[in-house]
Structure 1
Amino acid sequence: MKSLKWMLLVSLFVMSITSAATKNTFAEGGIVPVTTTDTTVTNGLGFPSAVTLTNRLDLTMGSANMLHNGTAYKSAQPVVSINGRTFIPFSSIAARYGYKISYDAAKKESIAKSDQHELVFKMGSGFAYRDGVLTKLTGVPFISNGYLMVPLRSWGEMADSTIAVVNKTITLKWSTTVIPPKPTANFEVQPGEIFAGQTIVSYIDHSTNATGEPFVDERWEGRMDVFPEPGTYVITHQLEDTNGIWSEPYSVTVTVKAPNMPPVADFTTEKSQYRIGEEVNYIDMSTDDENAIVRRTYTGNDKVFFEAGDHSVTLVVEDSHGLTSTVTKTVSVSNSVLYTKEEYERLNTKVGDNFTIDGASVPKMPAIGYTINSVRSQLVRSNSPETLIQEGIAYEAQLTGQVRFMFHNVNKIGYPVRMYLLATNNNSSTVNVNTSSIGIGGPDPIVANTAKMSTLRYLTSVGSNPSPKWMTVKPHQTIEILPDISKVPMKLNEVLSAYADIYSDQELQFHVVVVAADKNPITELPKLAVMPRDGIHVRGTFNNADRTIDINDTLGDMDQRIVIGDKTIDKYLDGIDDTTGELQYNTGNFGTLYRMHLPHVSPNTLIALNPRGGIYTGSFMVNGRVVTSSLMNNTQATVLYRTGDTEESVDLVFTLAGGSNLPIALTFLPLPELRW
């Protein structure tokens, strides 16, 4: 017995294949029941495979309205009666029956074709062809307003229809045989690579059923969860739905490989025995049957050993299928010393990496004195309040010429905010202003990251000497000067650090503004108050903010140091908080740009940075190369540079990183002689 869902689907199918003209719902008529009858045709499995449906078409004499199986349509022309003969537009009646129509221009014939019949009409001819057989018509076809009109009774007889007339209503009925669509079987086999006796196979079903009916039965051939032997296998799937319809068989061919063998871990060393401080050369000799080792993990494989004895080294290798193998071997180290740990690290630690140093030994190294030469320049340090707890103006000042701005703040307001640098032109003439070198770190919840990245990017920008980006500020206009710092909102507890070089050819009033992320800072500016200082950190405008240091002594013949940020030789800048007029000292000289020229650095000298006040994270440009340092305490040092076999001149450019601790020491350490 067919399900109600299938019956409705078939009804919709019949209406869809017979639809053509413009639909138009009207009052007369009603839903005409669609009668279905099982045929004796089966699908070979004992289940019905076709359904016969009775169609009904109601026409009204003199009207273009048609009611087909309860749905209203419009005919191209009204039904007309001429000399007792009823005529209907050929195209409209053919569409309702589901015929495809065409026109043979050479023969001047109109053709309607379906799976059952081919009907051929010709204007002015009292005969037509049904499946190639000449048939006499009850009337002669003619043209009305460009449409071929054919005799309705002849059409009905040629299309196997019954015709009934009641008053002005003409009813045609005919049968349509519909073969229900079969379900479609489809699946994929996973994974793509299958190994005999090892791989658990899954079957992902992609089967579909146009009727929407569920599947009630299925058949598999060749399906296995684990294939026991290598070779080629064909897996076939069929499905049955609730109408008793079976899908065509769907097959997938899989190739099953021989069982995957685990890799074999193995390694050796170049020598059977090494000296203390001698680099060990590990040679990986691992193999895999598919040459598919994806991971090699050593433990204990120190590049250099500083203790004599036997040292265990383990290697684990993994292939692309997750199989592993492990091997452990012994590296023998004699009592003979090639390099001590200190000597080896001085020679081999890469530039930018840290090595261990005796923190107590650094203050004992001879300190190299130096003289600081101040360069006329301006610095704005906007760092108080360092912790933002409200929206407002963090700093403002009237400035002209070259200015370096330094920003360092953490957001504790409770919602995302943006920081802006605005400039207001209080002059009567247009001001030209530009930005050049810029370095931004953050927003980031880790202060050390922002300090490191801001100095790294700023010094990299200084080294590249970027072309200035110019803009103009019209009289009494306020514009945003540094859009890069406001691109990303500062979320709660995030830190922003930045350096920026700005030049204006006339005086501008600069404002460092902090507002909610969705607010317009220029609109908000007149409403904002200057934030109170936090009493700990620094804000102000400082002159002579660039410093040059020239040291003509020869450096590196012995362990030596240069101390920066000690408040004694490297004294703090003094300046003014323009918002209050108070005297300020640039504690730590953060934002000050140092240029150090060392014309005489001995051959084979290591220049390393050692923090003396605690954590230090920042960057130095050494002979044009920017080196980043991250140091946790005074037992670490970062390699900045090594001279070669001859005396060299070394130039360093740096600014002390915000969020870090001072002082710092530049150490000059003679390298040990190379030994073999």
Structure 2
Amino acid sequence: MKSLKWMLIVSFLLMSCMSTGAQNASAAGFAAPIDMSNANVANVTNRLDLTMGSANMVHNGAAYKSAQPVANIDGRTFIPFSSIAARYGYAISYDAKKKESTAKNDKHELVFKIGSGYAHRDGVLTQLTGVPYISNGYLMVPLRSWGEMADSTIAVVGKTITLKWTTVVIPPKPKANFEVQPAEIYAGQTVVSYIDHSTNPTPYPFVDERWEGKMDVFPEPGTYVVTHQVEDTDGVWSEPYSVTVTVKAPNMPPVADFTTEKSQYRIGEDVNYIDLSTDDENAIVRATFTGNDKVFFEPGEHSVTLVVEDAHGLTSTVTKTVTVTNEVLYTKDEYNRLNTKVGSNIAIDGASVPQMPAIGYTINSVRSQLVRSNSPETLIREGIAYDAQITGQVRFMFHNVNKIGYPVRMYLLATNNNSTTVNVNTSSFGIGGPDPTVANVAKMSTARYLASVSSNPSPRWMTVKPHQTVEILPELSKVPMKLSEVLSAYADIFSDQELQYRVVVVASGTNPITALPNLTVMPRDGIHVRGTFNNADRTIEINDTLGDTEQRIVIGDKTVDKYLDGIDDTTGELQYNTGNFGTMYRMHLSHVSPHTLIALNPRGGIYTGSFLVNGQVVSASLMNNTQAAVLYRTGYTEEAVDLVFTLAGGSNLPVALTFLKLPEIRW
């Protein structure tokens, strides 16, 4: 059984060897000496059939093409040197100075010279049956001489020439290979794994293996050599394969330590924590403090803990105390007014805000147009949310939630009903969502729109040909609104002639322009607002000095800040822009006293939105009237402050801008 299996393997190897021929021989160089003591060495008979006058060759049943046909000159047969050498598995070379061509394998070295009737076989001069010559760039050698020099028998039947010779085949050995993991190994700590990559040229499994130097845990630092061998089913062992393993000294855990800049702190004084932790490899990957308040407002001993972790998962913990005296540098309210980041919230007595003196102001309306597409706010079917014919500059506000039951997209389409081409552009734009949380949507849409307004982008122009419908604002429809997701957006658009604008909502994947003729206008929801409004930009200038005492400015109260009136172009009905959402406010405060905090306080409930304060976008998220968002602080001198804002959709009104005194700086 073993002999049959070996003969099958030899046949496979021989066919593989012969099919690659000279290429493999050239690539591999000269073969290693044959180990004849190997019990599995096999003698395999090769057969090569040639046809006189033909370039066809059949080697062990496989067809090949010779570089030149077999030639007969004066009764002597010649064959291309390179082609015959390849079939025999010889490596060939050429010495240009001597004009000698050499074929070499593990048994013989055959040297032929152009025009010479002699050749060398293993250094011994041999007379040839014919003189080698060049045909079309290829060296032709006498076939009979080649056969004799290459230990072959030759038979001729008609035009067929058959050469036979014996090849000694040694089965390839199995090959041991492995890798050691992990890359970093620490003495006495790291559990080492060995991943075997050994290969066997036969399809049979290994029957045995040997390891030297293999350890699961190396006890001491230093260099170790691990060696592996494998044995196949024929009892053949692979050559040893070795890996040098470098073992580091044991990893030590990090040492957690910290200190504070001072030994004692006052109430309301910033505490500076200094991390002094160390690690033997300088590989601390995580430091976690608990109890490390930036400031304390209660006297006494306060425990602070630091946990550090190194790259190997070892940790260290230290706990120390911070001593806070009874002396007060700042109260909690004073400290928060001075130090809370812009856009973050401070606590405020909600009942005290209405008691602050209200600053009166006069609104100056600026000629402008606003389209508010907000009814129905909750979308329950596909259709046209708004339809209006508008010329010139217009601001669009969109705010809707999808309850249709499947993903939809919102489009702004413009139709040119004129007989001439209309030029239209888009400039400032801001979008929030789609997102399931209305507070996120409202804040992001106003923040992005105000940032766009501040950057004053160059208009993007396009043309609408007569009776053509095009999509405006591709950003609006880029992402579909999934079920229960909210989308809010603001956009500034200008056209030099009248365009019919339609806000269209259709299923994601539907072409809105194709679907438009079959869509109808959605009915209003009776709660929210849609319509076209004029004078939608408002300027407010207050020249009074603000901040000497606590004061407030109320926005969105519908008394001083009266609602815009307009028309629902889909029905012709009078509309009031409840809340004045989408209206742009520009407020100039000429005189704000030094050390004044300007903070936004919601009076109607949740408010999320953004403001441009002296050109910087400040976003606020407020849950109730006990919070105030920090918008701005004046410095050591009186300042003028400019605020630009639009009240955020999905929020509640009114809101109050409060002016609060900051405490003096204490040391």
TM-score > 0.5, shorter chain as reference: yes
Q: Which residue identity is paired with 2:85?
A: A
How far the C-alpha of 1:399 sits from its partner, in A, is 1.2
SS in 2 for 1:160: coil
The percent identity for this pair of structures is: 82
Q: Which residue identity is paired with 1:584?
A: Q
Per-residue CA deviation, residues 616-660 of structure 1 (Å, 9 max, x unaligned), is: 111111111111111122222110001112222111001111222
Match of residue 224 from structure 1: 215
SS in 2 for 1:449: helix
Instruction: Rate the CA distance shift 1:214–1:575 in 2: closer, same or farther, 3 A.
Output: farther
SS in 1 for 2:501: strand
Match of residue 21 from structure 2: 18
SS in 2 for 1:259: coil
Greater displacement, 538-547 / 237-246: 237-246
2:502 to 492, 502, 511: 511
How far the C-alpha of 1:135 sits from its partner, in A, is 2.5
Match of residue 155 from structure 1: 146
C-alpha contact 2:22 2:85 (8 A) present in aligned 1:
no
Match of residue 28 from structure 2: none
Instruction: Rate the CA distance shift 1:646–1:162 in 2: closer, same or farther, 3 A.
Output: same
Instruction: Rate the CA distance shift 1:185–1:446 in 2: closer, same or farther, 3 A.
Output: farther
Following the alignment from structure 1 to structure 2, what is the Cα–Cα distance between the partners of residues 170 and 146? Answer: 24
C-alpha contact 2:10 2:42 (8 A) present in aligned 1:
no
Instruction: Rate the CA distance shift 1:512–1:137 in 2: closer, same or farther, 3 A.
Output: same
Per-residue CA deviation, residues 593-616 of structure 1 (Å, 9 max, x unaligned), is: 111111121221111111222221
Match of residue 45 from structure 2: 54
Match of residue 261 from structure 1: 252
Instruction: Rate the CA distance shift 1:290–1:78 in 2: closer, same or farther, 3 A.
Output: closer
Q: Which residue identity is paired with 1:362?
A: V
Instruction: Rate the CA distance shift 1:194–1:88 in 2: closer, same or farther, 3 A.
Output: closer
Instruction: Rate the CA distance shift 1:409–1:112 in 2: closer, same or farther, 3 A.
Output: same
Match of residue 266 from structure 2: 275
SS in 2 for 1:11: helix
Matched, 1:543 2:534: yes
Q: Which residue identity is paired with 1:241?
A: D
Following the alignment from structure 1 to structure 2, what is the Cα–Cα distance between the partners of residues 258 and 142? Answer: 71
Following the alignment from structure 1 to structure 2, what is the Cα–Cα distance between the partners of residues 550 and 535? Answer: 35
1:594 to 564, 585, 607: 585
Match of residue 465 from structure 1: 456
Matched, 1:215 2:218: no
How far the C-alpha of 1:147 sits from its partner, in A, is 5.5
Matched, 1:252 2:255: no
C-alpha contact 1:595 1:654 (8 A) present in aligned 2:
yes
Aligned residues: 654
Following the alignment from structure 2 to structure 1, what is the Cα–Cα distance between the partners of residues 657 and 8? Answer: 86
Match of residue 479 from structure 2: 488
SS in 2 for 1:163: strand
Match of residue 513 from structure 2: 522
SS in 2 for 1:215: coil
Instruction: Rate the CA distance shift 1:189–1:160 in 2: closer, same or farther, 3 A.
Output: same
Q: Which residue identity is paired with 2:562?
A: K
Match of residue 646 from structure 2: 655
Following the alignment from structure 2 to structure 1, what is the Cα–Cα distance between the partners of residues 41 and 348? Answer: 91
C-alpha contact 1:420 1:480 (8 A) present in aligned 2:
yes
Greater displacement, 447-456 / 534-543: 534-543
Instruction: Rate the CA distance shift 1:366–1:209 in 2: closer, same or farther, 3 A.
Output: farther
Following the alignment from structure 1 to structure 2, what is the Cα–Cα distance between the partners of residues 612 and 656? Answer: 13
Following the alignment from structure 2 to structure 1, what is the Cα–Cα distance between the partners of residues 407 and 576? Answer: 31
SS in 2 for 1:18: helix
Following the alignment from structure 1 to structure 2, what is the Cα–Cα distance between the partners of residues 499 and 150? Answer: 89
How far the C-alpha of 1:401 sits from its partner, in A, is 1.0
How far the C-alpha of 1:3 sits from its partner, in A, is 4.9
Following the alignment from structure 2 to structure 1, what is the Cα–Cα distance between the partners of residues 114 and 223? Answer: 65
Matched, 1:564 2:555: yes
Following the alignment from structure 1 to structure 2, what is the Cα–Cα distance between the partners of residues 57 and 157? Answer: 14
1:476 to 467, 482, 497: 467
Matched, 1:313 2:299: no
Matched, 1:304 2:295: yes
C-alpha contact 2:18 2:89 (8 A) present in aligned 1:
no
SS in 2 for 1:452: helix
How far the C-alpha of 1:124 sits from its partner, in A, is 5.8
How far the C-alpha of 1:242 sits from its partner, in A, is 3.6
Normalising by structure 2, what TM-score? Answer: 0.90
Q: Which residue identity is paired with 1:274?
A: Y
Match of residue 32 from structure 1: none
Matched, 1:362 2:357: no
Match of residue 278 from structure 2: 287
- The 5-angstrom pairing of residues 28-67 of structure 1 reads 41-42=36-37, 48=39, 50-61=41-52, 63-67=54-58
SS in 2 for 1:15: helix
Match of residue 133 from structure 1: 124
C-alpha contact 1:48 1:244 (8 A) present in aligned 2:
no
Instruction: Rate the CA distance shift 1:481–1:173 in 2: closer, same or farther, 3 A.
Output: same
Following the alignment from structure 1 to structure 2, what is the Cα–Cα distance between the partners of residues 372 and 4? Answer: 103
How far the C-alpha of 1:337 sits from its partner, in A, is 2.8
Following the alignment from structure 2 to structure 1, what is the Cα–Cα distance between the partners of residues 40 and 489? Answer: 77
Following the alignment from structure 1 to structure 2, what is the Cα–Cα distance between the partners of residues 10 and 270? Answer: 78
C-alpha contact 2:118 2:128 (8 A) present in aligned 1:
yes
1:533 to 524, 527, 534: 524
C-alpha contact 1:602 1:643 (8 A) present in aligned 2:
yes
Normalising by structure 1, what TM-score? Answer: 0.89
Matched, 1:6 2:16: no
Q: Which residue identity is paired with 1:6?
A: I
Following the alignment from structure 2 to structure 1, what is the Cα–Cα distance between the partners of residues 164 and 517? Answer: 84
Instruction: Rate the CA distance shift 1:144–1:291 in 2: closer, same or farther, 3 A.
Output: closer
C-alpha contact 1:9 1:211 (8 A) present in aligned 2:
no
Match of residue 604 from structure 1: 595
How far the C-alpha of 1:141 sits from its partner, in A, is 4.9
5+ unaligned residues in a row in structure 2: which ranges?
24-33
Q: Which residue identity is paired with 1:15?
A: M
